[in-house]
Amino acid sequence: MPSLATNKRPHPTQTPEGVAILAILVNTLLAITKLIAGIIGNSFALVADAVESIVDIVGSAVVWGALRYGNRPPDQDHPFGHGKAESLAALAVACFVLFAGLAIGAEAIRQLLAPSPVPAPFTLIVLLVVIVIKESLFRITRRVARDSRSTVSHSDAWHHRSDAITSLFALLGISIALIGGPDWAAADKWAALAASAVILFNAVRLFREPYSELMDRNDDDIADQCQAIALETPAIRAIERSEARKSGRLYRVVMHAEVDPDMTVADSHGLTGIIKANIRERLPSVASVLIHIEPHTPHHTTQHRQDEAHGTPND
């Protein structure tokens, strides 16, 4: 008798879409709290942190929309699915982070040139709460991103981490200003400037993965696993090439497999069906496998790789 647990839907915090909604709600509450506390408490670092949370809200909304759209099944106009929407959204999140870092840094420099009042002590309590919440949100989002292999969720997770780092810098800056008195009041602004540098660093780092996916970078790990599974089939003499590219949370694999030259078309076609079934069973993240059958001849694979190295087409 099947377990009833298999029919249960995953908890919202176990799916990328659910975590994105949670992030929107949490960031909205945090942004309002930090903005009010920063204005009343004379802390630009806290106001800058509020700006970062507002950017988080926009970023999480984009992430949620991309996850919903990217999860649509293939259709006539998009036979390969809609997964690239997630990579585009991840780039957008990186742009939001970059913009926030530049804006916070520019305003921090402007305020460093003006007299700086000492922030209110209660702002430290606000920041401590914010750091705990944002770090928790980072860990939840990163876990879901790893389980789902979602690049856009991964970007959103590090967006939360950058917000936690911003809050940590604000906490240090305000603490220095409170301990040092009016002569050290500018520490709050220096903290915001330091936070902007960290945010800009994270923005550059967040660009890498979605850019690579949009450029169809080969995923060697998935490609090698698919090749190993294919070679377990006795009729496969060799794998000439195996390439995998990511689209959203799934992978698409192209493979050239060598078989006995005397094998019939019908038998080789049936063989590709067996390989595809084995790969999909053991690698659920692989959405499709395109297998090109070639006759196995001595030194064929070696020659093909030499031709590729010299830029000679060998189809």
- Give yes or no for a contact between 108 and 170, defined as CB atoms under 8 angstroms apart: no
Residue at which a domain ends, from 185, 214, 243: 214
Which DSSP string corresponds to 71-134?
Answer: TSPP-SS-TT-STHHHHHHHHHHHHHHHHHHHHHHHHHHHHHTS--PPPPTHHHHHHHHHHHHH
Residue at which a domain ends, from 184, 214, 244: 214
- Give yes or no for a contact between 35 and 56, defined as CB atoms under 8 angstroms apart: no
- CATH for 118: 1.20.1510.10
Q: What is the pTM of this model?
A: 0.63
Indicate whether 132 and 11 sit together in one domain.
Answer: yes
> What's the structural domain count of the chain?
2
Distance of alpha carbon 200 from alpha carbon 81, whole angstroms:
32
Indicate whether 107 and 246 sit together in one domain.
Answer: no
The Cβ of residue 292 has, within 10 Å, a number of other Cβ atoms equal to 13
Indicate whether 70 and 198 sit together in one domain.
Answer: yes
Highest mean pLDDT pick, 72-76, 173-177, 278-282, 283-287: 278-282
Residue at which a domain ends, from 159, 179, 214: 214
Distance of alpha carbon 304 from alpha carbon 287, whole angstroms:
27
Q: What is the pLDDT of residues 59-77, one digit of tens each?
A: 778 777 777 777 777 777 7
CA dist 31 → 15, 85, 282 (Å): 24, 27, 44
Does residue 315 belong to any structural domain of this protein?
no
In a 13 Å sphere around the CA of 59, the CA atoms on its Cβ side amount to 33
Q: What is the pLDDT of residues 216-269, one digit of tens each?
A: 888 888 999 999 999 998 888 889 889 998 887 788 899 999 988 888 888 888
Indicate whether 112 and 19 sit together in one domain.
Answer: yes
Indicate whether 210 and 224 sit together in one domain.
Answer: no
Indicate whether 205 and 234 sit together in one domain.
Answer: no
Indicate whether 51 and 189 sit together in one domain.
Answer: yes
Indicate whether 182 and 128 sit together in one domain.
Answer: yes
Distance of alpha carbon 296 from alpha carbon 257, whole angstroms:
9
pLDDT of 19 > 70? The answer is yes
Indicate whether 183 and 255 sit together in one domain.
Answer: no
pLDDT score, position 311: 44
pLDDT score, position 308: 44
pLDDT of 178 > 70? The answer is yes
Does residue 314 belong to any structural domain of this protein?
no
Indicate whether 118 and 243 sit together in one domain.
Answer: no
CA dist 219 → 83, 243, 283, 286 (Å): 16, 7, 14, 12
Distance of alpha carbon 15 from alpha carbon 151, whole angstroms:
13
Confidence of residue 89 (pLDDT cuts 50, 70, 90): confident
pLDDT exceeding 90 applies to what percent of the chain?
7
pLDDT score, position 13: 60
CA terminus-to-terminus distance, the chain? 51
CA dist 190 → 43, 67, 169 (Å): 11, 37, 9
pLDDT of 17 > 80? The answer is no
Closest by alpha carbon to 46, among 151, 126, 134, 149? Answer: 126
More confident residue, 310 or 23: 23
pLDDT score, position 186: 80
Q: Name beta bridge partners: 253.
A: 244, 289
Mean pLDDT of the chain: 79
Q: What is the pLDDT of residues 137-173, one digit of tens each?
A: 888 888 888 887 777 777 778 777 877 877 888 888 8
Distance of alpha carbon 296 from alpha carbon 202, whole angstroms:
48
Write out the residue range of the structural domain in which residue 238 sits: 220-309
Q: What is the pLDDT of residues 90-101, one digit of tens each?
A: 888 888 888 878
Indicate whether 82 and 20 sit together in one domain.
Answer: yes
- CATH for 250: 3.30.70.1350
Indicate whether 202 and 83 sit together in one domain.
Answer: yes
Q: What is the pLDDT of residues 200-220, one digit of tens each?
A: 887 888 788 788 878 888 888
